[in-house]
Amino acid sequence: MARITDLPPEIIESILWSIDHVRSLNAALRSCRRFYSFVQQSEEMATEILRRKISPAIWPYVAALEASFLCHDIPDVFLTLIEPCPDEPNARLGESDESHSESELYLEDLEEPLDDPEEYRDDAEEDIDDFDAKSSETRRYQRSFENERFRATRKLLEMLYDRPSVLADHFLSSVTIFDLHVMERRYDKFNFIATEFAEYAWSHLRENDDSLPREMTLSSAERDRFLRAIYRLEIFYHIFSVRQTRWLSVNHEFFLRHSPWENEQMFCIHHFLEMKFASATYDVFAHDVAFGKRKVDYLTFGTKNDSRQLWLSQGIEYICGVITQDNYESRKRKLEMAHSMHDANLNEVLFGLEEQMFSVDIWQGMVRLNLQDGDSFISTKEEVLSRVLCEEDKDYDLGPRESWIAANSGMSESEFESSGGFKHTNRAITLDNGLIVIKDIEDTAKVTVTQWLCVEKNGYFGFQHPSSGRYMGHDGNKSLRAKATELNNWELFTPREHPKGGYQLLSPYCMWSQALMVLCVDEDRKTVVRRNHGTTLWEFIKV
């Protein structure tokens, strides 16, 4: 019987090119020296096999995530690989020191001097000069390293969003087969997360609509959208792992490149992973003495749980590694070895992003707003909001865009975009048999009270039921009520003017927190509730 090594070279090459996975190609390389020589002669074979497996929409993010490891650990290598880049206008073989003087000066201004280590302060006098020299040299090296990391990160984001195909083609051409295999395993892992996330979301949809089919089927556009959010989240974890003032501008360049509904997708993935992480680590945090002494919070979700956010900051692959551990001890070791290495609190960033999303100054300075022929310069908040809502998602079905606008505006998309300003809906907050609800003004004859007396206390407003004297307030959670006879913390509100007209109504989260929650119309279109975010707009009518 003929051996496979006796096959003609053309047949062997055809077989290798038809392999579906990089891991299979790796196995083939180890099985036969002739296969190995064929792959060595065709360096792009492994890259093309992986490219066939991954959607073109996700391919640049695969490259960007791999590049983010270099940006964080060895930024000078990344800059050497990527500068100058093919197809880049006015690309040069190298850049002079003067070309970066402005950014480096910016970094120098924000650099905080390092404190001398405490243990050296009592050293003998003869060692001080030597220590000062070493300490100064260390500071210079660290400052230089941070400058390189800053430059590399900005370069990576600029290429990802402005020249994604150039980034992928140029960077992945230098990746080894072993690294491509690692990238394939990571993609398979993220693909599995996307499927799990979709099934979880589908189960919630079916709770409210039994007519939906039991089996969930993702379209290619939907899968790409989930995968894109997952890759963006992992890139965020790797790039923004250190909280420093200098990174705020890069932060803007990353999140404000996305439409608000795209950032919300990232948050949904993050919340889904947090739920899985909390479930997997509950036993360890609840029963381990060491974690108990550190007062690790294993119950609270979201921004207020800083300790859990630190573990989540280690990245999606780390989270999956913790979740997949099959016993108590291995999971504990995994938690002990990575805590506090990175610090990238996505909740904290996104909760503070709404104001920035509608900031005129930030939008004027964004790279993506370079003026084209016929474009107008953004100068007002109304123009910023118009630009945000006109930004179309790259997905053809536009589902997330329509959902986000409907959920955050308190009205339909057509009403929001056609009004040119806040649309008066003839609906008002009313008190009906002790319940705070939304009613049409035409139905006021059926409502006990249709007006509220506005009073002021400590810079906040309160709304009093004239006949009973009770104040509108909340129950400490999301529900509203009208029970208090005095204007206390839970009955305080503050209005915030919206760029499209009208006002958002905000209330303190609780008496010991400065966080504000937003009054929104609930999904039933009748109940008024408090939420962490939302854009239901209100008008005040003087009577």
Q: Which residues of 462-489 are buried (b: 16+ CB within 10 A; e: fewer)?
A: bbbbeeeebbbbbeeebebbbebeebeb
Q: Which residues of 490-520 are buried (b: 16+ CB within 10 A; e: fewer)?
A: bbbbeeeebbbebbbbbbbbeeeeeebbbbb
Q: State the CB neighbour count (10 A cutoff) for residue 536.
A: 22
pLDDT band at 60 (very low <50, low <70, confident <90, very high): very high
Residues 6+ apart with CB under 8 A from 232: 61, 258, 262, 266
**pLDDT higher than 60, residue 380:** no
Distance of CA 116 to the CA centre of its chain: 36
Q: State the CB neighbour count (10 A cutoff) for residue 23.
A: 15
Is the preceding peptide bond at 84 cis, omega within 30 degrees of 0?
yes
pLDDT band at 185 (very low <50, low <70, confident <90, very high): very high
Question: How does pLDDT run across 12-34, given as a tens digit for each residue?
Answer: 777 777 788 888 877 777 777 77
Measured CA angle at 300 (ends 295, 306), to 5 deg: 60
Cβ(482)–Cβ(436) under 8 Å?
Answer: yes
Sketch out the chain's domains with CATH numbers. Answer: 358-419 (no CATH), 427-531 (2.80.10.50)
Q: How far apart are CA 416 and CA 404, in angstroms?
A: 12
Phi-psi region of 502 (alpha: psi -120 to 50; beta: other; left: phi over 0): left
Q: What pLDDT is recorded for position 534?
A: 64
pLDDT band at 262 (very low <50, low <70, confident <90, very high): confident
- The pTM of the full predicted model, rounded to 2 decimals, is 0.63
Question: How does pLDDT run across 503-525, given as a tens digit for each residue?
Answer: 888 887 554 445 677 888 876 77
pLDDT band at 363 (very low <50, low <70, confident <90, very high): low
Cβ(519)–Cβ(528) under 8 Å?
Answer: yes
pLDDT band at 226 (very low <50, low <70, confident <90, very high): very high
Q: How far apart are CA 426 and CA 404, in angstroms?
A: 23
